[in-house]
Amino acid sequence: MKKELHVISTGQQEKAEMIKISRSIHSYVDYIHIRENHRSPEEILHLIQGMKEADIPLSKVILNGSSSVALAGGVSGVQLSHRGEDVLMVKKHYPMLRVGCSTHSLSEALEKEKRGADFLLFGHVFESNSKPGLRPRGLHALQEITAYVAIPVIAIGGIAPSNVKDVLTAGACGVAVLSGIFGADDPSRAALNYHKELEVIER
């Protein structure tokens, strides 16, 4: 199975900058998640239209949040929080969307898989600047989840090129990165570095 690179927006870039970064990295990544909870649905749709006009394939775009907005924007999928929409209902009403779910425990992972999730984001695996003061769940917890669920598990939280091999060895089917790419001085080079690490594992 191909190892996936998911890149998640940080909510800290303006629309033009986010589109510019997305355009520079999309050839190296599998999915770009729009996680812009401070933006209105109208702003999100405007952002998606801007990405489309910049020749960023919407087949690589996943919206964190609303399934109806994801469908209206023509993106490929939706990422649901553990307190968000019910995955079973989303799959029933919008079967064309790839549905991911954020999970933090084995019980959550099993429940989301049972209800029809296509993939899981699990974390945070390592210490992360976006989760200050919170103890990371670690590789053992990741390995436990990948051993019990059949759908792809994407590791998130403190993922750097240097530990990509560790999370894949623990059974992850890919990695998700926020500031490591969107917050990098050279996002394109950063995305390429992650891409190279994933390619090495696939060989």
Residue 124 known to be catalytic:
yes
The residues near 129 (Cβ < 8 Å, ≥ 6 apart) are 179
On the CB side of 137, CA atoms within 13 Å amount to 20
DSSP string, 133-154: TPPP-HHHHHHHHHHH--S-EE
Percent of the chain with pLDDT over 90: 90
Residue 131 confidence (pLDDT): 65
Task: Return the DSSP state at 16.
Answer: H
Does position 118 have pLDDT exceeding 70, yes or no? yes
Helix, strand, coil fractions of the chain, as percent rounded to 5 = 45, 20, 35
User: Is 109 in contact with 149 (CB distance < 8 Å)?
Assistant: yes
pLDDT band at 135 (very low <50, low <70, confident <90, very high): confident
Does position 201 have pLDDT exceeding 90, yes or no? no
Does position 203 have pLDDT exceeding 70, yes or no? no
- 39-86 tens-digit pLDDT: 999 999 999 999 999 999 999 999 999 999 999 999 999 999 988 899
Q: What are phi and psi of 64, to 5 degrees?
A: -80, 115
Mean pLDDT of the region 194-201: 89
pLDDT band at 202 (very low <50, low <70, confident <90, very high): low
pLDDT band at 159 (very low <50, low <70, confident <90, very high): very high
Does position 148 have pLDDT exceeding 70, yes or no? yes
Residue of 6, 124, 140, 195 marked catalytic: 124
Mean pLDDT of the region 145-165: 97
The domains found in the chain, sorted by start residue, are 4-202 (3.20.20.70)
Exposed / middle / buried, residue 121 (Cβ in 10 Å: 0-12, 13-18, 19+):
buried
Mean pLDDT of the region 182-197: 97
On the CB side of 167, CA atoms within 13 Å amount to 34
